[in-house]
């Protein structure tokens, strides 16, 4: 019976394609130099959205510090759908400089279903400090009527002002009304923008 180590690289890569970044790294990292080389693409990106609390903490506190010595993390996905409270937990951990430094090279982020207070902290304490962030996707699942103006202000005053962004996508159940909060919006580097608007005339502001 053939052993896993006897398989050619091409077949091992096919097997790894069926695994998530976390599962691939957790299962095969540091088995040997060959597997570490094959795992290189998995070290650059992580989808935290499907992880349990235990897996999340294991990645942040054990796996990430180990792989970050050789390979920086470039892409991050997190959200509250499968693991409620994940964004709040991330915001808490990111205050610790021990973990904060592992995310300095992030250039792509997707965040799903944040609550308003979570996104405010995430943007102001984390996103605005990322000098390499080029792509950002925010998927908002619900907005309370009384918070609509606060959401709009956050997006216009903080998210749209991230100077190094090239691609920005914001999905939300209710379109923004930019004319209520600003006259014009300047984009220093933004090339690709996807945004829900309520009024056609708000396109003139953009």
The pLDDT value recorded for residue 2 is: 64
Residues 21 and 82 in one domain: no
Residues 29 and 59 in one domain: no
The pLDDT value recorded for residue 93 is: 92
Residues 18 and 99 in one domain: no
Residues 130 and 147 in one domain: yes
Residues 53 and 147 in one domain: yes
Residues 34 and 20 in one domain: yes
Residues 129 and 75 in one domain: yes
The pLDDT value recorded for residue 79 is: 95
User: Which pTM value belongs to this model?
Assistant: 0.85
- Token pair belonging to 138: 């925010």
Q: Please give the tally of structural domains in the chain.
A: 2
Residues 12 and 113 in one domain: no
What are the distances in angstroms from CA 171 to CA 6, 10, 114, 138? 46, 38, 12, 6
The pLDDT value recorded for residue 57 is: 93
The pLDDT value recorded for residue 180 is: 54
* pLDDT per 10-residue tile (average), the chain, 206 residues: 75 86 88 86 90 92 87 93 92 89 94 96 93 94 87 85 88 72 59 70 51
- Using CB atoms within 10 Å of the CB of residue 185, give its burial: 0 to 12 exposed, 13 to 18 middle, 19+ buried: middle
The pLDDT value recorded for residue 11 is: 87
Residues 18 and 63 in one domain: no
Three-state DSSP at 120 gives helix
The pLDDT value recorded for residue 108 is: 97
Domain span at residue 11?
A: 1-40
């Amino acid at each position: 019976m053939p052993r896993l180590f006897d398989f050619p690289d091409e077949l091992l890569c096919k097997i790894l394609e069926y695994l998530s970044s976390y599962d691939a790294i957790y299962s095969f990292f540091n088995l040997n130099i060959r597997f570490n080389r094959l795992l290189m693409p998995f070290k650059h990106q992580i989808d935290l959205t499907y992880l349990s609390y235990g897996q999340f903490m294991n990645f942040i506190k054990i796996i990430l510090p180990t792989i970050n010595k050789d390979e920086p993390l470039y892409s991050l996905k997190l959200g509250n759908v499968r693991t409620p409270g994940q964004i709040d937990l991330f915001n808490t951990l990111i205050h610790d400089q021990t973990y904060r430094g592992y995310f300095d090279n992030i250039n792509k982020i997707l965040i799903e279903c944040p609550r308003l207070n979570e996104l405010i902290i995430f943007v102001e304490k984390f996103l605005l400090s990322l000098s390499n962030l080029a792509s950002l996707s925010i998927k908002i699942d619900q907005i309370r009527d009384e918070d609509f103006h606060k959401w709009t202000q956050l997006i216009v005053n903080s998210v749209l002002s991230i100077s190094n962004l090239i691609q920005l996508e914001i999905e939300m159940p209710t379109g923004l009304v930019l004319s209520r909060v600003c006259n014009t919006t300047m984009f220093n580097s933004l090339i690709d923008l996807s945004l829900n608007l309520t009024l056609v005339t708000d396109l003139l502001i953009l």
